[in-house]
Structure 1
Amino acid sequence: MSRLQNKTALVTGASRGIGRGIALRLAQDGAVVAVNYSNNEGAAKETVALVEEAGGRAFTVRARLGTPGAVEQLLEGVAAGLVERTGSSRLDILVNNAAATGFTGAGPSAVTEDIIDNCYTVNAKAPFFLIQKALELIPDGGRIVNVSSGVTHSAFPIQIAYAMSKGALEQITLHMAPVLAPRNITINTVAPGITDNGDPVFQDPEALEQMSALSVFNRVGEVSEVADIVAFAASDDARWVTGSFIDATGGTLLG
């Protein structure tokens, strides 16, 4: 029996990249997965199709996190989809993966108030209120995983707005852990490093070499490797781990 058999999960930003990989892995482990997307319905449906081709179960839920009413819209869609497929609105696993990058390419001097506001709204505010409101659906013993980034623990000036907001997300993990503990709900942060998420830059040999050199393994990460770590944090195997920062950077933060 798969370790997430009879479990349900929501993965935000799951239409592509790391989010898609997480959705595929959780479904592979037996969970019924709600695939959240903001705009690209076709990509979200492709994620669901990949899950179903592998024998799993998933469905799409549109909600553009960071916009008014999006959290409520998302949870209503998730609850309805779960009731239809399982007979219950119970949500066992919440993975906050959706993110705004805030990338400018020019460092702090190019950061605007709009960039800061968008990063904090999508990367910190939305996950906080999603956790707060999803607790009505999450049972005792549930799992919450916040996907952050290695840039919160290393200097990367061209991603300063993103790093600031992801640092705030990590504080949610830290401060919510003791609040959720009486219900045996764990909450952890998984922080990927440079991961081949399908972006065209990973097809550039020179750029790939430079990115690979940042890891002690001299390569970039694969989506499946990050998904494996999230799947661990979402499973009963991680029941004694909460409030943690899990470094999934391939040794990039070792110095």
Structure 2
Amino acid sequence: MVEKEDEMASILQKIADHELSVDMAMNQLKDPGFVELNYAKVDTDRPHRTGYPEVIYGEGKTASQILGIIQTMVSAEMNVLVTRVSPEKAAAVLAVYPKMIYHDTAQILTWQSIDVPPLPSAIAIVTAGTSDLRVAEEAALTAEAFGNSVSRVYDVGVAGIHRLFARLDVIRQSQVVIVIAGMEGALASVVGGLVDKPVIAVPTSVGYGANFGGMSALLTMLNSCASGITVVNIDNGFGAGYSASQINHLTENTK
């Protein structure tokens, strides 16, 4: 909002200095804050309101629709993050924007128009098993895209809990901890009882039949006996990375 007020003050000053006509100023002030496409309204005002650009959810969109939104954001000099992009759609996008980066494990596309230096304080991303990597990398790349350092602590589930203890120093040095687990989802409670930082738990759909597509992990995390745990939806690595970034930036801004 501060940037928007500065922009309005600049326009008014240009009118006062006779550098801008009233009609020209009105055209600038009429900017609705979004670009109308036939199939989407690209929110160009979001960075002013929230500090983060709009993120494109790729699942359910065609490659041409994704390309149209990307083109609008690139033209507005906005950083681009596209989640849930299949390899086929990614190939179509990369044919037009070869400098974009496709992260195949997370199925994410990124484009950086504006440099975002990482904060000194890190976000730790902890997974129970290798099967949770897609969700973990979605969280990690989201956090990194928004200017966060990320410490990856993977495959340290409770079935071999000594692996977790071997990396506990790295986890405790972080400002926020994201814990990602499927099966019964017990890892979030264990980590929550060992650290003094906010823990964001992400249940995954990894598990055998009684896992019910992630419901067992979700309910375990919601019912955790460890304090300070917040739970996002099943497989929502993006939501965890976004929330962790907000917490990390808020912490840095208050130092």
TM over 0.5: no
TM-score (norm 2): 0.40
Higher helix share: 1
TM-score (norm 1): 0.40
Larger-gyration structure (1/2): 2
Flag the structure with more relative contact order, 1 or 2, with Cα contacts below 8 A and sequence separation at least 6.
1
